[in-house]
Structure formats: structure tokens, C-alpha cells
């Protein structure tokens, strides 16, 4: 095996893992801090993608359309939390069913609003060379984006008042309420942030994955499995699971076939859940 | 698009409430009007409604208007079985127009065979479906690939890489690529079969670079696999390696793909909206008057239009809508002046002899014609499937079985 091929494979596999992580963090935050599995996560991603796409079409530069997408998905997320999620606290299966229903409604709504095909914005045609192999630049950039996203969530959860309240509300809900934290409001914020992160993912991945009404379904399965494998330690757990599963699948696909890559992803997921039913981070000491 | 959905709604309501109207013939339409496959299903259904309206405006069949019963299969396979049974047993239809995927067709075929109702499958597909009741108006993999591979080998060179979806459309198409590569003195230097859920094409793109092909035959199915084209171009491969496809554009992927990635891609099908002939000009005018022009017409729409018109011609020729007589009329070598050029329904194979257009993506989400192959024969189906000599044949031929 030539060295340049190996380097290309490792770099692009890290990029694949980062893309998975970007798509997963929002789901992990909502699951980790609220115990809610949001099966409409993929549709929030799709909304983020369409929000960025529409904003770009209005003539605003792509980079500025990303915050717009985040704000729009956060607002929709807050509404969904207030109308649906908050009425189902503690009923994990009911929440899953409700969010699944929401996902179907959003999908069909997207078909009605945008039709089945919408012009994409395309990927920046920038690439670089490693030995004999050229790599698209934009996916590699996602490694940095994933790292920034992790740093942002870490900062938000540990260094801000909101973050402390959010963690207090989930770890000691009664005590949190006793000292005057309005856990309902905190939860609305948490869900909105989770959806905002999904919207960010949809917007930032738009050049790689074109916006289509059904784009969410691709991400939601792997993101969901990554969160389940990660377990309770939201950030480190998700990062490790995404690198192991996403990166591993990509390396396998490079050396064998794409089908083998997928098989790797699901087999390792099954094995890890068999070994660690509560996720790999169940017995870890740190909390983020 | 909003408008066309509303009009579908209206059409369904009209169709459902039209029970009282006197009609000599009744046809069933099962397409994916919602869910992931509706990129195709909505256009198939629109084409069917338009064809029926057009026939009815010109006197209908047997002097009476055709009645339509519409069902929404919701991109779910089980709905095809359910609605096919409903259409035959409850609604007593005279002909069925249904399905996009091969699995939906295979779910329907046993039902129409048992009920003895002519069934039209209007979609490009891997080829080989063969029984007395089934008529295919789309082009088959071998029909498209026979001309495409020869063209591409002459244009780009003799080393081929295959990127295909991992199910029978992909694997059977890959078989034909191997076959036609051999006939043209070319070789397949690598292949990758991908699940429909893959969004990360970096491994495939590296493998393509490692095997150094002259051109790639890419058969991306579904929205996710469209991302492959974007990534292929962004990695800078488009300038060095040719890319040809038999299904790019069949779901208007050229609208989704950015002009930078779409320009210069080669694809071939039985119909493209820009095809230049008077029949197509009239067809496009009818279509845009009813559905607007915000989405280009795809080949499955024309396949459906052709199917309805061929059936109507057969009923008029037979003088009644009974299955046996209509099938006999369909097997009489019917030709039809279609938007994609004259098509001929082959009596033995129940497939269409039709034009195949090789086109190239332009820089504005559209295509321009590179070469037109007229009256291309569905040679594999003709070779395997002779329903005149062997009317009880009921098979799905694949190139692997002997």
C-alpha cells in the first residue's frame, strides 16, 4: 500500500467521522440533557439546509446564511418543545412516537413548499493533492468545523449560567427547582439549542449533501446509533463514537467495498451495545 | 409544484367522484404521490392524467371517456400489493398503470397475471421482465448501455470504473457494462456498489483515482447518491476522467447538482425535455399549460404518456376492452408518434423499440443533445422473451441465469 493512498484514506476518514459528528451533536445534546430522543432531528437538519439554501438564493453570502439557518431552526425547535415535547416529559417512547410524527409532517411540508427538486449551491471547487491523489477541500474543512462545534458546546455547557442550569435541571431536577431554576424554560432552551445545532449541521453540510425533503432520514439513523453507543457523556462520548464508527466505516469502505463499510458500522454498533448496553461512556467519571 | 399537487388533489377527487359518469373503460393508476419516490411518482401521475384528458377531449376510447382511479402508494412497497388488489377486485379496472421501482413491479406482476389485466410499467429499469400481461414502456439497461458504452469507449478510452447502487438495477446494469466493455475491447478496472444511504463518497473517489480509469459509469439513485457527482467534481476529477450515466437526469438531478459539477456530465435516456420534434413541442405545450414549467419533464412521464396512448390505441383497435383482445391488439406491432420519437411495441418482448438520446449537461441545469440513436432494439428482452411463441412465459430474466 502506497503511503499517499494511506494518508488520503486517513484524512478523508477523519473528515467522514467529523461529518457524522456534526450531524450528531444536536441529537446528543437533547438526549444527554433532556433524556429526549428527537426522531425529528434529521428534519431539523433538513430545515437548516433549506433555510441556508433559501437565504443564499436571496443573495446573502453562504457563510452568513448559516447563522440565519440556526436561528430559524432554534425558533421552530422552541415551538415544537412548547407545543409537544414538554407535555411528554419522562415518557420516552411517547416522545419518540411524537417526534417521529413531527418528522413525517415536516418532510411532507418541505415537499409542498419546495417541491421535490431544488437547485443546490454546489461544493466549492477547491481541491489539493497528496501524491497521486486529489482530495476535495470542503469535506476536509469539516474536521475543523466539528472541533469548533465541540468547543462551543463545551463552553456553553460548562462556562455559562444557562449551561449550569441545564445540567442542574437534568442531574438534580427537584433541587434545581427548589433553588429557583425554571426547568421548563431551561428545557425549552436546551431543545431549541439541539435543533439549532441540527440546523447548523444542515447548513454547513449543504455543499456536501444537497437539500432534499428526505435528506434527514440518511443522517438520523447513524446519528441516533452514534448517540446510543456514546451513552451519557454527551460530548466526549459522541466524539469517540463518531470517530470510531464513522471513521472506521470509511476506512473499511476505502479498503474493501462501500457495503463492507456500512456492515462495519452496524456490526460494531451491535457489538458495542452488547458489551456496553448503556453506552461506552456509562462508567466514565467526567460529565461532558 | 404546489399548483401541481393541488391539481393532483383535484384530479383524485374528480376521479373518485366520477363513479356516476358513464364510462366504457376504467383504468387504475398507482404511483408514489408522497414519500421519497414522489420525484418520479408525481410526474408519472401527471402524465397519466394529461394523457387521459387528451384522449377524452379527442373522443375517448370506444367513443366514451376513460375513467381513472388513482391511488397513492406513498413510496411503500406494501401499498402496491394492497392497491393493485383493490384496483382489480373492487374497482374492476380494465388496465393498470403503476410502479417505479423494480420491487414495486415485481409485487404487482403476480396480481395482474392472476386477474388477467393488462399492466403497463412506465419506468427505465434493469430489463428482463416478461409475462403476457406486462408491457414495459421505459428503456431497459441493456438498451441504454449498448449505445452508451460504445460511445464512451470511443470518446474517452478503454478503462472503465463502475459506481452503482447495491441492488438489482445496479448489479444488472454492471453486468451489461462488463458485457458491452468486452464487445468494445474495453475493460472494467474497478467497481463499487453503494447502499442508497451512503452520503460520504470519499472512499469511492479514492478508489477511482487508484484504478485510473478513462471514464466512470455512475448510476446514482436517489437524492443522496446525487452528492457523489458534486464530490467527484469538487475533488477535481471531472477534468481528468469522463463520467457517463444512464439514469442521471431521470429524476431531475441536474436541477439539484450545481452547474459547476453538472456541466459536461454525459447521460442517456429515452427522453429529455429539450428533444426537438413537433410531437414533443405539442406535448410540452400541453404539459406546461396544465402543470407549469418550474420542473423539467422527466423520461418516466413520457413513458407513462406513451403507455396510456398505446393502451387506448389497442382498445380502439380491438373494439372492446376485454383483456384477451386488448393484449392481442397490443401484440399487433403497434407504433405511436411519441414525444420521444416514434416508438414501436414489440409483439414478442412487450418492450418498446425507441430512440435513445445521449446528452451532455450544460452550465445552466439543463442538457444538450450529443447524439441520437433511433429505434434502438431491446435486444436482450427480444432474445429471451418471446410471448407470441411462448404465451405462458412468466419470468424476470437476469443475465446471470442460464
Chain B residues inside the 8 Å CB shell of A217: 36
| Of B279 and B257, more confident | B279
CATH superfamily entry for domain B2-139+274-350+385-396:
Response regulator (3.40.50.2300)
The pLDDT value recorded for residue A86 is 86
Task: Tell me which chain A residue has its CA closest to the CA of residue B258.
Answer: A122
Pairing between β-strand B159-165 and β-strand B66-72 as defined by DSSP bridges: unpaired
**pLDDT tens readout for residues A117-128:** 677 777 887 888
Chain B residues inside the 8 Å CB shell of A123: 230-231, 233-234, 258, 261
Least CB–CB distance from B235: residue in A118, A119, A135: A135
Is the model's pLDDT at A286 over the cut of 80? no
**pLDDT tens readout for residues B49-91:** 999 999 999 999 999 999 999 999 988 889 999 999 999 999 9
The pLDDT value recorded for residue A5 is 86
Is the model's pLDDT at B17 over the cut of 50? no
What does the pLDDT average to over A148-171?
88
Q: Is the ipTM of this complex over 0.85?
A: no
The pLDDT value recorded for residue B4 is 53
Using the structure block, give the residue that is written with the C-alpha cell 407504433.
B335
The pLDDT value recorded for residue B19 is 44
Using the structure block, give the residue that is written with the C-alpha cell 463545551.
A154
User: Could you give the CA distance from residue B220 to residue B270 in angstroms, rounded to a whole number?
Assistant: 18
Dump strand ranges (E) for B236-385: 242-245, 266-269, 335-338, 341-345, 352-361, 367-376
Is the model's pLDDT at B389 over the cut of 80? yes
Helix (H) or strand (E) holding B217: strand B215-218
Contact B223 A212 (CB under 8 A): yes
Handedness of CA A110, A113, A114, A115 (dihedral sign): positive
CB A20 within 8 A of CB A238: no
The alpha-carbon gap from A23 to the nearest alpha carbon of chain B, in Å, equals: 12
Query: In which band, very low, low, confident or very high, does the pLDDT at B12 lie, cut at 50, 70 and 90?
Result: low
Is the model's pLDDT at A114 over the cut of 90? no
Cα of B85 vs its chain's centroid, Å? 23
The alpha-carbon gap from B24 to the nearest alpha carbon of chain A, in Å, equals: 35
**pLDDT tens readout for residues B209-264:** 989 999 999 998 876 677 888 889 988 898 899 999 999 998 888 888 888 888 99
What does the pLDDT average to over B174-201?
89
CB A39 within 8 A of CB A23: no
Contact A258 B226 (CB under 8 A): no
- Which three three-digit cell numbers place residue B17? 367522484
Least CB–CB distance from A210: residue in B198, B202, B223: B223
User: Could you tell me where in chain B the CATH 3.40.50.2300 domains are found?
Assistant: 2-139+274-350+385-396, 142-269
Least CB–CB distance from A218: residue in B224, B236, B237: B224
- Which three three-digit cell numbers place residue A67? 447563522
Is the model's pLDDT at B268 over the cut of 60? yes
Kindly give the interhelix angle for A161-171 and A137-159, rounded to the nearest 10 degrees: 80
Mean pLDDT of chain B: 90
Pairing between β-strand A133-136 and β-strand A127-130 as defined by DSSP bridges: antiparallel
Q: Please give the C-alpha separations between residue B59 and each of B49, B65, B164, in angstroms, as whole numbers.
A: 15, 7, 45
Size (chain B), residues: 402
Cα of A48 vs its chain's centroid, Å? 12
Does the domain formed by B142-269 have CATH 3.40.50.2300?
yes
- Of the ranges A47-51, A71-75, A90-94, B233-237, which one carries the lowest mean pLDDT score? A90-94
User: Could you give the CA distance from residue B304 to residue B45 in angstroms, rounded to a whole number?
Assistant: 8
**pLDDT tens readout for residues A189-243:** 999 999 999 999 999 998 888 888 888 887 888 888 999 898 888 888 889 899 9
Amino acid at each position: 500500500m502506497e503511503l499517499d493512498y494511506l494518508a488520503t484514506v486517513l484524512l478523508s476518514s477523519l473528515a467522514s467521522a467529523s461529518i457524522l459528528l456534526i450531524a450528531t451533536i444536536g441529537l446528543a445534546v437533547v438526549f444527554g440533557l433532556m433524556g429526549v430522543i428527537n426522531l425529528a432531528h434529521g428534519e431539523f437538519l433538513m430545515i437548516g439546509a433549506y433555510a441556508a439554501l433559501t437565504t443564499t438564493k436571496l443573495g446573502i453570502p453562504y457563510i452568513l446564511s448559516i447563522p440565519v439557518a440556526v436561528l430559524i431552526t432554534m425558533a421552530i425547535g422552541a415551538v415544537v418543545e412548547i407545543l409537544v415535547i414538554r407535555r411528554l416529559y419522562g415518557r420516552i417512547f411517547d416522545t419518540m412516537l411524537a417526534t417521529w410524527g413531527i418528522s413525517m409532517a415536516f418532510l411532507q411540508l418541505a415537499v409542498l413548499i419546495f417541491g421535490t427538486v431544488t437547485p443546490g449551491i454546489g461544493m466549492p471547487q477547491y481541491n489539493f493533492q497528496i501524491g497521486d491523489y486529489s482530495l476535495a477541500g470542503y469535506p476536509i474543512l469539516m474536521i475543523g468545523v466539528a472541533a469548533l462545534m465541540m468547543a462551543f458546546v463545551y463552553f456553553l455547557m460548562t462556562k455559562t449560567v444557562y449551561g449550569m442550569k441545564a445540567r442542574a435541571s437534568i442531574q438534580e431536577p427537584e433541587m434545581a427547582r427548589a433553588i429557583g431554576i425554571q426547568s421548563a424554560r431551561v428545557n425549552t432552551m436546551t431543545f431549541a439549542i439541539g435543533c439549532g445545532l441540527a440546523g447548523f449541521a444542515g447548513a454547513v453540510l449543504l455543499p456536501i449533501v444537497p437539500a432534499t425533503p428526505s435528506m434527514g432520514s440518511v443522517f438520523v439513523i447513524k446519528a441516533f446509533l452514534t448517540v446510543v453507543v456514546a451513552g451519557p457523556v454527551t460530548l466526549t462520548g459522541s466524539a469517540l463514537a463518531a470517530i470510531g464508527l464513522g471513521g472506521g466505516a470509511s476506512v473499511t469502505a476505502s479498503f474493501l467495498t462501500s457495503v463492507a463499510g456500512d456492515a462495519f458500522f452496524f456490526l460494531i454498533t451491535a457489538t458495542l451495545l452488547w458489551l456496553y448496553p448503556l453506552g461506552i461512556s456509562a462508567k466514565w467519571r467526567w460529565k461532558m | 409544484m404546489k399548483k401541481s399537487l393541488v391539481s393532483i388533489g383535484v384530479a383524485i377527487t374528480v376521479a373518485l367522484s366520477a363513479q356516476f359518469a358513464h364510462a366504457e373503460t376504467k383504468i387504475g393508476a398507482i404511483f408514489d404521490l408522497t414519500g421519497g419516490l414522489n420525484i418520479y411518482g408525481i410526474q408519472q401521475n401527471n402524465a397519466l392524467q394529461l394523457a387521459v384528458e387528451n384522449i377524452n377531449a379527442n373522443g375517448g376510447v370506444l367513443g366514451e371517456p376513460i375513467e381513472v382511479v388513482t391511488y397513492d402508494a406513498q413510496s411503500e412497497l406494501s401499498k402496491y400489493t394492497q392497491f393493485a388488489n383493490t384496483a382489480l377486485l373492487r374497482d374492476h379496472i380494465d388496465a393498470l398503470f403503476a410502479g417505479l421501482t423494480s420491487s414495486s413491479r415485481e409485487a404487482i406482476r403476480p396480481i395482474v397475471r392472476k386477474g388477467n389485466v393488462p399492466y403497463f410499467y412506465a419506468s427505465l429499469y434493469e430489463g428482463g421482465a416478461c409475462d403476457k400481461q406486462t408491457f414495459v414502456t421505459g428503456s431497459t439497461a441493456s438498451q441504454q448501455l449498448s449505445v452508451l458504452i460504445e460511445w464512451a469507449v470511443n470518446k474517452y478510452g478503454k478503462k472503465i470504473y463502475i459506481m452503482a447502487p447495491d441492488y438489482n438495477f445496479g448489479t444488472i446494469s454492471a453486468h451489461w457494462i462488463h458485457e458491452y466493455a468486452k464487445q468494445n475491447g474495453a475493460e472494467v478496472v474497478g467497481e463499487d456498489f453503494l447502499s442508497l444511504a451512503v452520503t460520504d463518497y470519499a472512499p469511492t473517489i479514492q478508489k477511482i483515482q487508484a484504478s485510473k480509469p478513462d471514464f466512470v459509469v455512475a448510476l446514482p439513485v436517489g437524492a443522496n447518491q446525487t452528492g457523489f457527482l458534486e464530490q467527484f467534481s469538487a475533488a477535481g476529477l471531472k477534468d481528468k476522467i469522463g463520467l457517463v450515466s444512464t439514469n442521471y437526469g431521470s429524476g431531475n438531478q441536474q436541477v439539484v447538482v450545481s452547474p459547476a459539477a453538472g456541466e459536461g456530465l454525459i447521460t442517456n435516456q429515452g427522453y429529455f425535455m429539450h428533444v426537438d420534434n413537433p410531437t414533443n413541442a405539442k406535448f410540452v405545450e400541453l404539459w406546461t399549460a396544465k402543470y407549469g414549467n418550474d420542473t423539467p419533464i422527466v423520461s418516466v412521464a413520457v413513458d407513462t404518456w406513451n403507455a396510456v396512448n398505446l393502451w387506448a390505441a389497442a382498445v380502439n383497435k380491438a373494439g372492446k376492452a376485454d383483456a384477451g383482445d386488448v393484449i392481442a391488439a397490443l401484440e399487433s406491432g403497434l407504433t405511436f408518434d411519441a414525444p420521444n420519437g416514434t416508438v414501436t411495441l414489440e409483439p414478442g418482448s412487450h418492450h418498446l423499440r425507441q430512440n435513445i438520446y445521449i446528452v451532455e449537461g450544460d452550465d445552466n441545469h439543463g442538457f444538450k443533445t450529443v447524439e441520437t440513436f433511433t429505434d434502438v432494439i431491446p435486444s436482450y428482452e427480444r432474445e429471451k422473451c418471446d410471448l407470441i411463441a411462448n404465451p405462458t412465459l412468466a419470468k424476470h430474466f437476469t443475465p446471470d441465469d442460464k
